[in-house]
Structure 1
Amino acid sequence: MSDQSPITDPYAYLNIVKNPDGSITRDVTNLPRASATPDPSSLNPVVFKDIPVNHSKSTYLRLYIPTATVNDGDSSQKLPLVIYYHGGGFILGSVDFILFHDFCSDMARDLNAIVVSASYRLAPEHRLPAAYDDGIEALDWIRKSDDDWIRSHADFTNVYLMGTSAGGNLAYTVGLRSVDSDLSPLQIRGLILHHPFFGGEERCGSEIRLVNDQVCPPVVADVFWDLSLPIGSDRDHEYSNPTVGGGSEKLEKIEELKWKVMVIGGEEDPVVDRQRDFSEFVKKKGIEVTERFTGGDVHGAEILDPSKRGSLFASIRDFVSSSSAL
């Protein structure tokens, strides 16, 4: 909040150290991880397994599916497919971090959907667009996959790209790129952007109002962009600020394809005004946008507080239902 003490050392806040060669050393010892549990005989309502995508990049997917679906063995009832990208400012995060893992597991259960959480290479060792490239590669892997859980139970005509924070930015950009790609038999119905992370050179109103925010203050966001954008770029690059960048023709294609977009944010997030501006930008292209901005919520609220997930997933379930009915 704005009346709290400012964060003066964003590197210490993030537990990272910048090295002379441009890489960073990350201390993630305080972030527990979850191992895969692929056995459908377990008592868990959702089972999950890890599948490699590209060995040379060390990228992989964590695939979540309701246990009852696997045990029933009925391949006639196909489930919506949600392809999810985790957050972390493009420099941190992993699909097996408990915060993201539990979120995806709960989502698969509450939506009765298959959720595929895709890893991607991190900056600054792999600056953008590396993460976007990996996001597209994950889509390509899924559409060609012979994995039994996917082939038997995923509805390839009812697919959604989703991400949290940097993952929301990633889901949007992957969506833009995918309109020029052959994704058959995948049919994307919509984008679900959960607290999407956008930026810009000039401070927006919410960044000024929440300058001392304790979750994702502007000074921390600046470090994220400094380490992840192409060298020499500023925060008005199209990767961080889509409202001043390109993509208009691809947005027109998204409108032609009748994709829907859901933008989710919290009023106590310094990025909320950028999310609202993005939403208006997309609406002006004729795309149907569902907005969910909740009072009192910080950046990534539902990741940090499991008690908030039920109402969020209910809203997403309604969005999926309305999009799949088209």
Structure 2
Amino acid sequence: MNSTYANGTVHRYEEIKFVPPSNNHKTEVQSKDVTILPNKNVSARLYLSKISRKNKKFPLFFYIHGGGFCIESTFSSGYDSYLHKLTAQANVLVVSINYRLAPVHPIPAYYDDSWDVMNWDARGKEPWLKQHANFSRVFLAGDSAGANIANNIMVRASEESHFVLSLVGMALLDPYFGNGKPDVLWTYLCPKTNGIDDPRFNLAAHPKILSKLKCSKIFVFTAGKDNLRDRTWTYYETMKKIGWKGELGIKETEGEGHVFHM
């Protein structure tokens, strides 16, 4: 995906097609971009479902894109198309987080950026959020590396008593987690941690952390041909084993590969 040269230059091989925000006349979903941390170039794209009455409130749905922490964007055509459809079908207000990318910005930049976006949203000053977000029904979701970030944000929110958003549930799509085996990408992105059992990566090695998750629903998704399939099942089986009190579910789609929904 990237090449990093001795002088620090990073070359990204995969070109991402960016698209502007738009109003979908068929679904009546609106979207717009907001800059949250200008000095860090952290932003988000908001998607608002069809408004049937002036002050209608929608569940607040945070989505975090994947791409191995190194590529992709919330502004890419694939994620934009997907989230327009998701917003319409789920009838929610989506905040799609655009975080800084590795290797220019190493771990923990992606976690910190996503956390900052959520806290910015919690202040409720943005007009769409102020008028249409139901802050008592908040959900987190992400795919691949984005699912890893979502889970870590849920961990952090569960540990901080002053966090004001009411996190109801989480959806982890083909999550990029560790399972105690060597992982070249994680080692490259995060060389200064305690390795492949870092609690941000291999959650199964830290069941006490998982047991404290305060949301009431967690659903994980994987695919039969996904190279991360076994890791997803390890996460799910660990949650079952520790007796997590919330509603836990898993779905595996046969014959499909990693992040096939995109």
Q: TM-score, normalised by structure 2?
A: 0.91
Are 1:123 and 1:227, in contact at CA under 8 Å, matched by a contact in 2?
no
Give the whole-Å Cα distance in 1 for the aligned partners of 2:185 and 2:181: 16
Cα pair distance change 1:90/1:261, threshold 3 Å = same
Q: What does residue 143 of structure 2 align with? A: 164
Q: 2:204 aligns with which of 236, 243, 249?
A: 243
* CA deviation string 1:97-125 (max 9, x = no partner): 11111111111011011110011111112
Are 2:226 and 2:257, in contact at CA under 8 Å, matched by a contact in 1?
yes
Q: What does residue 5 of structure 2 align with? A: 19
How many residues end up aligned between the 2 structures?
Answer: 259
Cα pair distance change 1:23/1:247, threshold 3 Å = farther
**Amino acid of the residue matched to residue 272 of structure 1?**
R
Are 2:207 and 2:238, in contact at CA under 8 Å, matched by a contact in 1?
no
Q: What does residue 54 of structure 2 align with? A: 74
Q: In the TM superposition, what is the alpha-carbon distance from 1:232 to its structure 2 partner?
A: 6.1
Q: In the TM superposition, what is the alpha-carbon distance from 1:81 to its structure 2 partner?
A: 1.1
Q: CA RMSD in A?
A: 2.0
Q: TM-score, normalised by structure 1?
A: 0.74
Are 1:176 and 1:251, in contact at CA under 8 Å, matched by a contact in 2?
yes
Q: What does residue 112 of structure 2 align with? A: 133
Q: In the TM superposition, what is the alpha-carbon distance from 1:24 to its structure 2 partner?
A: 2.2
Unaligned runs of 5+ in 1: 1-13, 204-221, 304-326
Give the whole-Å Cα distance in 1 for the aligned partners of 2:251 and 2:197: 25
Rg (Cα) greater in structure: 1
Q: What does residue 290 of structure 1 align with? A: 249
> Which has the larger share of helix?
1
**Amino acid of the residue matched to residue 6 of structure 2?**
P
The 3-state SS of whatever aligns with 2:159 is coil
Q: What does residue 311 of structure 1 align with? A: none
The 3-state SS of whatever aligns with 1:96 is coil
Q: In the TM superposition, what is the alpha-carbon distance from 1:201 to its structure 2 partner?
A: 4.9
The 3-state SS of whatever aligns with 1:302 is coil
Counterparts of 1:249-268 in structure 2, within 5 Å, are 250-254=209-213, 257-268=214-225
Give the whole-Å Cα distance in 2 for the aligned partners of 1:63 and 1:126: 24
Q: 2:89 aligned with 1:110, yes or no?
A: yes
Give the whole-Å Cα distance in 1 for the aligned partners of 2:38 and 2:113: 12
Q: What does residue 214 of structure 1 align with? A: none
Unaligned runs of 5+ in 2: none
Identical aligned pairs, as a percentage? Answer: 29
The 3-state SS of whatever aligns with 2:67 is coil
Are 1:50 and 1:60, in contact at CA under 8 Å, matched by a contact in 2?
yes
Are 1:132 and 1:173, in contact at CA under 8 Å, matched by a contact in 2?
yes
The 3-state SS of whatever aligns with 1:104 is helix
* CA deviation string 1:127-172 (max 9, x = no partner): 1111111111111001013122111111111111110100000000
Are 1:127 and 1:227, in contact at CA under 8 Å, matched by a contact in 2?
no
Counterparts of 1:1-326 in structure 2, within 5 Å, are 14=1, 16-22=2-8, 24-29=10-15, 31-37=16-22, 45-66=28-49, 68-69=50-51, 72-75=52-55, 77-181=56-160, 182-184=162-164, 186-202=165-181, 222-231=183-192, 233-244=194-205, 246=206, 248=208, 250-254=209-213, 257-287=214-244, 288-303=247-262
Are 1:91 and 1:224, in contact at CA under 8 Å, matched by a contact in 2?
no
Larger RCO: Structure 1 or Structure 2 (Cα < 8 Å, ≥ 6 residues apart)? Answer: 1
**Amino acid of the residue matched to residue 77 of structure 2?**
I
Cα pair distance change 1:187/1:170, threshold 3 Å = same
